[in-house]
């Protein structure tokens, strides 16, 4: 070991290490430093040059067992992960080491987790709509291939299940999927791995897990590791990639923890002052080029169900589609609990969808909005006070609300009902029948969890 590259830990503050390099050259920002505890070898990442001969580094791994006076080694590079075909079908940690009980990944190439976003001239502006087979998404908030989708919702409204269904439905089309579990529960990671294996989708998927019980350094950097794997498939292997992040809030939260430990002054809501820059640097790398596309679906936890939280606001500006899950709709037993009036998509235009789809989507939003407004009158005065036209609107809106529920393949083991993939043409035909009044004679409860109206007829 070169003495110039060796430092000594002089202070430990939570997961932030202060390291002195006497007489040596200080490592650069973002450089990886290797240290060892009784649990094994880990890396820390330089986040601040704090003095003439000292740096502050955030531990990307465990710190129990570390003490002042322990040595660290400057690796003279940033954190790297293995990329390429060798990582497909694997569950890995932030460094690309296996956590699935299988041997180490034998990859020819390793890449830094810090890559530059694509150059302006390389970015592809061609966009097409990605069919998901999920009714409420394909009808009201279509996903653009190569676009960014935000899945917003509080705790327990179904974000993770929704994301797994998207992996299942869209992954079947032969796309590669990269799943970044940021602050995931270990059992959820294991469940996803087993489900993908059973459904035969694991061979085209990489799962990178930074668990909830791990250090903020791991949770901060895990999303970047997974994104590096996805970028390699796009740029080198010229593939279309589905990039799932569950959950962006935990990525932001980890940055906030590190900022607090390094003594940075927080902004509104207690978040780090570098919030917009950190989210922006991550989101700018998720792009489509002339080689291939990265379509990202990002779950965003809403603290206290607050859509105006600064963490949600920081992500909003980067998205093409926002899908908001509502606790009120979930409490009615309607899943997926998407709120159609709050969700939106940039693809909801005649150019992307065609006139028929565009008009039907707007008609659905209109009657759901009218129903929402009439709800207050119904609550106070009852249905009897409404005109016949308003009554028809209410009944059709309720049928439509129930019709947008759907059986998911990934929740089959809990519901006992097999999942439905609904083709767009069948979906539009059903919506047309409900809006035109052709099925006004059928009880609204019959519209729950059917694939198309023909299932009742």
**Residue of 318, 333, 298 whose CA lies nearest to 160:** 298
- Give the pLDDT score at 421: 93
Longest dimension (CA), the chain: 86
Count, in order, helices (H) and strands (E) of the chain: 13, 18
- Cα(264)–Cα(274) distance, rounded to whole angstroms? 9
Which residues are registered as beta bridge partners of 266? none
Residues 6+ apart with CB under 8 A from 219: 182, 183, 210, 250, 251, 253, 254
Whose CA is closest to 283, among 302, 296, 299, 292? 296
Could you say which of 45, 184, 231, 257 is catalytic? 184
Question: Which is it for the CA torsion 22, 25, 29, 33, positive or negative?
Answer: negative
How far is residue 171's CA from residue 165's CA, in Å, rounded to a whole number? 9
Structure tokens at 254: 């980890």
Give the model's pLDDT for residue 2.
Answer: 58
| 294-301 vs 321-324, strand pairing mode | unpaired
DSSP string, 234-293: HHTS---EEEEEE-HHHHHHHHHHHHHHTTPPP-GGG--TTHHHHHHHHHHH---BSS--
Output the CA angle 332-338-343, nearest 5 degrees. Answer: 140
CB 412 within 8 A of CB 418: yes
Across 276-291, b (16+ Cβ under 10 Å) vs e yields eebbeebbebbbbbeb
Distance CA 32, CA 77 (A): 6
pLDDT recorded at residue 103 = 94
Active-site option among 90, 159, 221, 401: 159
Residues in a beta bridge with 40: 37
Annotated catalytic residue 77: no
Of these residues, 30, 110, 185, 264, which one is catalytic? 185
pLDDT of residue 305: 83
Give me the tens of pLDDT residue by residue for the chain, a chain 457 residues long: 556 789 999 999 999 999 999 877 899 999 999 999 998 899 999 999 988 899 999 999 899 989 999 999 999 999 999 999 999 999 999 999 999 999 999 999 999 999 999 999 989 888 889 999 999 999 999 999 889 999 998 888 888 888 888 888 886 656 789 999 998 888 888 888 988 888 788 898 999 999 888 999 999 999 999 999 999 999 999 998 999 998 899 999 999 999 998 888 888 788 999 999 999 999 999 999 989 999 999 998 888 888 888 999 999 989 999 999 999 999 999 999 999 999 999 999 999 999 999 999 999 999 999 999 998 888 888 888 888 899 899 999 999 999 999 999 888 878 888 889 999 999 999 999 999 999 999 999 999 999 999 998 8
Is 159 labeled as catalytic in the residue annotation? yes
| Closest C-alpha among 143, 145, 205, 147 to residue 176 | 205
Would residue 425 show up in a list of annotated catalytic residues for this protein?
no
Six token digits for residue 173:
């089309």
Sheet order of strands, 176-184 included: 91-92, 205-211, 176-184, 241-246, 294-301, 148-153, 321-324, 344-345
Note the Cα 128 to chain centre separation in Å: 20
């Amino acid at each position: 070991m070169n003495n110039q590259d060796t430092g000594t830990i002089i202070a430990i503050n939570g997961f932030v290490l202060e390291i002195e390099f006497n007489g040596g050259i200080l490592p650069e920002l973002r450089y990886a430093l290797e240290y060892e505890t009784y649990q094994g070898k880990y890396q820390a990442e330089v986040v601040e040059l704090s003095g003439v001969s000292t740096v502050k580094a955030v531990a990307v791994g465990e710190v129990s067992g570390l003490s002042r006076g322990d040595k660290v080694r400057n690796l003279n590079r940033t954190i790297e992960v293995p990329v390429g075909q060798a990582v497909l079908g694997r569950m890995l940690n932030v460094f690309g080491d296996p956590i699935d009980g299988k041997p180490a990944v034998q990859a020819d190439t390793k890449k830094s987790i810090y890559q530059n976003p694509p150059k302006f001239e390389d970015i592809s502006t061609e966009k097409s709509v990605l069919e998901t087979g999920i009714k409420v998404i394909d009808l009201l908030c279509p996903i653009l291939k190569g676009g960014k989708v935000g899945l917003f919702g509080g705790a327990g409204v179904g974000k993770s299940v929704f994301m797994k269904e998207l992996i299942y439905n869209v992954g079947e089309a032969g796309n590669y999927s990269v799943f970044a579990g940021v602050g995931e529960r270990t059992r959820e990671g294991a469940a996803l791995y087993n489900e993908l294996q059973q459904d035969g989708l694991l061979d085209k998927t990489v799962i990178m897990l930074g668990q909830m019980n791990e250090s903020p350094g791991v949770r901060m950097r895990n999303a970047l590791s997974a994104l590096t794997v996805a970028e390699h498939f796009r740029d080198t292997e010229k593939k279309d990639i589905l990039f799932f992040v569950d959950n962006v809030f935990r990525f932001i939260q980890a940055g906030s923890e590190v900022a607090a430990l390094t003594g940075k002054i927080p902004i509104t809501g207690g978040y780090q002052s570098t919030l917009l820059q950190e989210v922006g640097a991550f989101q700018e790398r998720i792009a489509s080029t002339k080689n291939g596309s990265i379509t990202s679906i990002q779950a965003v936890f809403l603290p206290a169900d607050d859509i105006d939280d600064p963490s949600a606001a920081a992500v909003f500006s980067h998205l093409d589609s926002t899908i908001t899950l509502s606790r009120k709709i979930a409490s009615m037993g309607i899943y997926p609990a998407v709120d159609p009036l709050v969700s939106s998509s940039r693809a909801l235009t005649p150019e992307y969808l065609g006139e028929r789809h565009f008009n039907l989507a707007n008609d659905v939003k209109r009657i759901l909005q009218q129903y929402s407004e009439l709800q207050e009158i119904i609550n106070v005065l009852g249905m009897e006070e409404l005109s016949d036209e308003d009554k028809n609107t209410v009944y059709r809106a309720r049928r439509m609300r129930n019709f947008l529920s759907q059986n998911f393949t990934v929740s089959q083991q809990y519901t006992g009902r097999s999942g439905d993939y609904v083709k767009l043409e069948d979906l539009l035909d059903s919506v047309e029948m409900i809006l035109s009044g052709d099925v006004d004679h059928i009880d609204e409860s019959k519209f729950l969890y059917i694939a198309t109206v023909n299932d009742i007829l």
